[in-house]
Amino acid sequence: MTSSKAKTEQVDVRRRKGVLKSFLYNKKTAPYIFILPFIISFLIFFLTPAIQTIHMSFHRVITLADMQFIGFGNYTRLMNPNFFMAIRTSTVYAISVVAILIPFPLLLAVILNSKLIRGRNFFRSTFFLPSLTSVIVAGVSFRLIFGELPDALFNSFLGLFGVEPVRWVMSFWPGMFAMVSLTTWRMTGVYMIYFLAALQTIPEELYESADMDGAGAIKQFYYITLPQMKHMIVYVLTLVIFEGYRMFTESFVFWNEANPGGLGLTITRYIFNEAFQRNDMGLGSAIGITLLGIVLVINLIQLKLFGLFRKEL
């Protein structure tokens, strides 16, 4: 009886192992098992806070356990000069970085992908290194470069051409130029790597055929390179738009606690001011949801313009 019972238990164990093995190695279930950690982390760290933020945006938040429902009261309070100033600053900044961080890294990637360039790997590393620098450290350096004194580096350079010293952090457009310069210096190498990765997937046969047909470098770039890189360009454009609207650190480094005349007041900084400095979590949440809506609409429009919603025949 004992041996029979032991054999039965062994059969049960084998059967359970077989069921578990068939489940883990099943082509239908295995992919979901591999992405399960991501799904769990997404639910805990992203979806749950997002739902909580939407909930708080319709309440006056005293504590997380004590909220008073006020409907669209927080969204109504958004109609104020500070919010419109933040929208303006973030939009101008986003447009500026899009205008620079799409064509410039793309051009660098095309040049450094050429076999005619010696030391390509050295130049790739050189352009990528600034992205490893802390935004705070780089920001302090750029704040010194764009200092107000005549002997500051950039003012000294302008002085060579007879230009008067500029008070960079006391005017909107000079301050915007300083912030965009910092971002361009840091992020050009990152987006260049994205474009390089896409360039290296383009078959060489396409360029060889174009050479045989007498197409020059410009025609090859326009008719081969750009169409083949369309999806990567759209991806980088989406990232740049998102990063442009969520910019905070660059503004905070240049203006710190002081923000004369609302200079450098971006949407994310407005969220920081209202939610954490003034402890108005309801209004801060409403600003965050509005920012999400703005970025979502802009990205949907640009995806539509690139034809990514079109059905392929």
Mean pLDDT of 125-138: 88
Residue 206 lies in a domain: yes
CA–CA dist 104, 176 (Å, integer): 18
Asked whether residue 15 falls in the same domain as residue 87, the answer is no
- Are 127 and 200 in the same domain? yes
Q: Identify the three-state secondary structure at position 265.
A: coil
Residue 310 lies in a domain: no
In percent, how much of the chain has pLDDT > 70? 88
Return the structure tokens found at 259: 């923000």
User: Residue 288 maps to which CATH number?
Assistant: 1.10.3720.10
For position 20, what pLDDT does the model report? 57
Q: Does the pLDDT value for residue 297 go beyond 60?
A: yes
Considering the domain boundaries, does residue 142 fall inside one?
Answer: no
Structural domain for 233, as ranges:
78-137+171-305
What's the chain's length in residues? 313
Q: Are residues 108 and 10 in the same domain?
A: no
Question: Number of folded domains in the chain?
Answer: 2
Task: Indicate if 100 and 196 belong to the same structural domain.
Answer: yes
Q: Are residues 51 and 82 in the same domain?
A: no
Q: 41 with 88, same domain?
A: no
In a domain, 154, yes or no: no
* Residue 167 pLDDT grade (very low, low, confident, very high; cuts 50, 70, 90): confident
Specify whether 83 is located in the same domain as 198: yes
- Assess if residue 69 is contained within a domain: no
Same domain for 214 and 109?
A: yes
Question: Which residue bears the tokens 């050295």?
Answer: 122
Residue 91 pLDDT exceeds 90? yes
Please indicate, yes or no, whether the overall pTM of this predicted structure exceeds 0.85. no
Contacts of 289 (CB under 8 A, 6+ apart): 53, 54, 57
How far apart are alpha carbons 135 and 147 in whole angstroms?
18
